[in-house]
Structure 1
Amino acid sequence: MRRLILPLVLGLVGFAILISLGNWQLRRMGEKEAYLAEVEALIGAAPQAVPAPVDPVRDRFLAVAAEGVFTGNTVRVLVSHKKMGAGYRLITVLETPEGRRLLVDRGFIRVASEIPALPKGKVEVTGNLHWPEEVDKYTPENDLDKNIWFARAVPVLAAHLNAEEVLLIARSTSYDAGAVVPLGVGTEGIPNDHLEYVVTWYGLAIVWLLMLGLFLWRMYKSARNL
């Protein structure tokens, strides 16, 4: 029996580690679900004026409404939508009566569609502020000659369009957007894979315990046959 003590202790230590990892992921899942609920409440809140100055951390997902006149060029950001296919997000500067120049993500248009002319006169856009993190080492260089961009890097867009580093993603507009489909901010893009990790770690703990029991049983049977 003394020969079984060491493998039993080591096996139980391994089991405890796997359980603790499962418990940790369970806590992380609770935290992520609370965060997602907070973000959803923030997205769906009553819109307010765009704060000045803005804070990319404090004001992320803030529901806002802004009015002004669309001015200047429109940047096309190449994206793929699971329901509508390949297309572009259209980003244009909205100049407010106070002289602020805000970036507005007007929405999605298919690759084959023509970019509609900007609406005339004053418009109102309601949506959410966002600073997407879409650039990584695999992101291609923007093709400025063809006006094809590959990420909504707010500082880069702001410098290119001479605007504030503020991106308002439209949810609704006071004008007829035509073929442009607003793609409002949602929580779909925020990963929440913690349940999978919980199941994985607890599953491994159960398998580990079964294998430990089988191993100890074989050692016990072998010792009795000596």
Structure 2
Amino acid sequence: MRLWFGVIVGVIGVGILLSLGLWQVQRLAWKEDLLARIEREIAADPVPLRAVLEPELRRYSPVTVSGTFDVDAEPIRILASRKTVGAVYRIIRPFQAEGYGRILVDTGWIVDDAGMPSAPADEQITLVGNLDTPIEADGFTPAPDLEGNIWFARDVPEMARALSTEPVLVVLRDAPETDLGVTPWPVDTAGIPNDHLQYAITWFSLALIWGAMTVYFLLRTRRSAR
């Protein structure tokens, strides 16, 4: 009876763990296809802003937009980190987009002690970037330090309210012939987690361990019965 109980528990355990591993393999294929589609979208030819806002906003879409920066409004500084640099600030500015209205532009990053760069005043410029709707804030994200102008996450609706713009964010890829005093931080897929291979390996490893433990238990039980 004890032997059969061990067989049943072992088979069920290995089966569950293998099914979880196979599910993660399926999720891996789905995620890789999703990332490939996003990368193709990011690298596509830019189109006018309004074309990817109607009938609904298409995240990651490359856009080209002409207009002027509002140099009278203080830009938002968002504390972030670059692997090879350390602490940096993303600089978010309001931009009067020709044919649309005021939008947000993530112009790029500066090191934390570089000082706030100035934007071109009353200069009509053309920007190339990608639409994004980042969701970086959660229940553990501190509220913005409005007095020190330090934010801790990109929150498009909140940033739009603070800078009196539409809740539309363009992440700069290039500003031809214009120096904004920042290093662009274009949209990519690096921030999209893809841990399914590690999860699959973990579940398959646990299945192997469970199976080995089951065999050991059965052999020991059989020897004890003798």
On whether the aligned pair clears a TM of 0.5, the verdict is yes
Partner of 1:216: 218
- CA, structure 1 residues 195+223, in 2 after alignment: closer, same or farther (shift >3 Å)? same
TM-score normalised to structure 1 length: 0.93
- CA, structure 1 residues 215+51, in 2 after alignment: closer, same or farther (shift >3 Å)? same
Paired residues of 2:172 and 2:185 also in contact (CA < 8 A): yes
Structure 2: which amino acid aligns with 1:25?
Answer: Q
Shift in Å, 1:178 = 5.2
Paired residues of 2:118 and 2:181 also in contact (CA < 8 A): no
**Cα displacement string for residues 45-66 of structure 1 (whole angstroms, at most 9, x for unaligned residues):** 1111113683798511111111
Q: Give the match's secondary structure for 2:108.
A: strand
Paired residues of 1:132 and 1:154 also in contact (CA < 8 A): yes
- Unaligned runs of at least 5 residues, structure 2: none
Shift in Å, 1:78 = 1.2
Q: 1:143-182, aligned counterparts within 5 Å?
A: 143-177=145-179, 179-182=181-184
Shift in Å, 1:92 = 0.7
Q: Give the match's secondary structure for 2:184.
A: coil
Structure 1: which amino acid aligns with 2:68?
Answer: V
CA RMSD of aligned residues (A): 1.8
Partner Cα distance (2:46, 2:106) in 1: 16
Shift in Å, 1:114 = 2.1
Among the aligned pairs, what percent are the same residue? 41
2:135 corresponds to 1:136? no
**Cα displacement string for residues 100-153 of structure 1 (whole angstroms, at most 9, x for unaligned residues):** 111000000111112222113111111111111111122112111221111110
Q: Give the match's secondary structure for 2:7.
A: helix
Partner of 2:13: 14
- Unaligned runs of at least 5 residues, structure 1: none
Q: Which runs of 4+ in 1 moved over 3 A?
A: 55-58
Q: 1:71-220, aligned counterparts within 5 Å?
A: 71=70, 72-120=73-121, 121-177=123-179, 179-220=181-222
Partner Cα distance (2:194, 2:177) in 1: 36
Structure 1: which amino acid aligns with 2:190?
Answer: E
- CA, structure 1 residues 56+165, in 2 after alignment: closer, same or farther (shift >3 Å)? farther
Q: Give the match's secondary structure for 1:83.
A: coil
